[in-house]
Structure 1
Amino acid sequence: MRAAGVTEFGGPEALHIVEVPEEHAGPGQVRLRVSAATVNPTDTYLVLGVYADRDPVKNPPWVPGMDVAGVVDEVGEGVEHVVVGDAVMGVVVPSGAHGGYRESLVLPGDSVVHAPKNATDVEAATLPMNALTARFSLDLMGLRPGQVLAVTGAAGAYGGYVVQLAKADGLTVVADASQADEQLVRDLGADVVVRRGDDVAARIRERFPDGVDGLADGAVQDALVLPAVRDGGAVATVRGYRGDGQRDLRVFPTLVRKVAQDRAALDRLRQQAEDGVVTLRVNRALPAEEAAEAHRLLAGGGIRGRLVLTF
């Protein structure tokens, strides 16, 4: 069975088509015939070997990919919410050769839900990981309707979903953007847009002098953005940053693997995509054989919408 992966860690050029063993669905599991797998920044770290020490699988190949869409072709005992032939999407916690960039994949049943109606497989693949991470960030911060949330990296996939989900939760959203992305971020629903950059915290404070109630740091600016948040406020991070221990800020590293089997949350996102609450944004679809090119494009920066590999 084909997959796009690496046998030696490196840059995009390390990615190539590899053969991996076929798997079958056991109890509580679902097997997908994968037709689309989204390319995310986390995938590039896996290819570089950043996560090698924590991966229990030490032998190649290693296959990236954290979200997929396709068709169910095997259902294990105890799984009743999907049947063979259903169009579905799923979130993946990669380990060894078990990543999303493969043409067949076994997942826990609770990591798989129906794809949004009227969405293509390429579109559906862009939803699970980034939107579930955004949802988890908001749940961890626990802001109430009417409170103010700042979002950095708002034009990206995670940041864009945070903006849209926060608005659906009744929050006021201040988001950053470059001049080129300002209209996009406004269209996503931001109430206030400030220019992105290392001084974004000062720009947010100009608009909200007392500080915002919470901040989702999709731009991974870590300590630079903490001054935007009021004393005792909440911060959600996506690369494990835990704050500087000052001003009683509540800092929540958001690790999507902790909610990878939250089927109810994933299915709610499916419904919100159908209702138009969240937008499925595709930049470009490339065949799996061009995984290296997809990683090169992502590394070049400025990608708006997701790159998706197809099988």
Structure 2
Amino acid sequence: MKIAFYDTHSYDKDAFTKSNQEFNFKITFFDFKLNENTVATSRGYDIVCIFVNDVADKEVIDHLKENGVKMIALRCAGFNNVDLAEAKAAGIKVARVPAYSPHAVAEHGLSLLLALTRHIPQAYLRTKTQNFNIEGLTGRDLYGLTAGILGTGKIGRTMGDVLSGIGMKLIAYDPFPNEQWAKEKNVEYVSIEEIFKRSDVLSLHCPLTEETKHIVNHDNMKLMKSDAVIINTGRGALIDSKALVHALKHHTIGGAAMDVYEEESKYFFSDWSTNVLTDDVLARLLTFPNVIITGHQAFLTTNALGNIADTTLQNIKDFTEGKDLVNKVE
């Protein structure tokens, strides 16, 4: 089986090359993304392996089918960038990595939260220039505050455990509540309105669907406490970015820390330091002192990369051997 990997970086190549020593697949790494302009490069490959900002819409999938591709292997948990109905109609199997390291994402979320609430970026920049003035850097204890977990899959539950470990009270929202976890961890499931009203910290962990797109919007942020902060290590489009700018400008909320952005595909994983950002919303968000944005790196640990590689290649092996795909997406 020949596999074409798209949107790859050095860390992808290192992890998959190491893992492939067990599987011995023929792998070609492309550094460009899969989309309608690059899909022709899939000709001659049996499988394509893609990441979060590759595009597998109807047009791309039609070309994949014409080129003889039989499987789309996602090396991530999300699958909103794949037209699943079209893939099914084309007879192309889709599999993902549902859980690679919930601890990696949760720990990054905690890092963002602490950096935001204790003004770590500003303090670091000051001391780098020998400015040891601490005026304006007053934070607050997280102990005893209420953390709202929006989405209680593996990552959401792990984030809840981490925040509970520093003494935060937990509330949660999920249309499919995990009652056993809630009972064990003393978590209260509440309505969507209540989680916005009561949370001092709102952490987003739900998948991106038609129902969850812009779940953090103008109306819901108006329900929040004026000093509440939002942490997003899920999907960028869970937040209406224009509404977030409005909320920050008008002090409706206290701040936001995000590892994702709804229009990130053009910019993230690339160096734009010598270019002008044409995305006015992203540019505006970067100006706020109470906003931290990282470039979709929550997954980026050696542990997670190894798990991603192992699970992705095992998915492919199961497919090639005609076994049931335990991680299939339909």
User: TM-score range, shorter-chain basis?
Assistant: 0.3 to 0.5
Answer 1 or 2: which has greater strand percent: 1
Q: Which of structures 1 and 2 has the bigger CA Rg? A: 2
TM norm structure 1: 0.45
Whose relative contact order is higher, 1 or 2, with alpha carbons under 8 Å and at least 6 apart? 1
TM-score, structure 2 normalization: 0.42
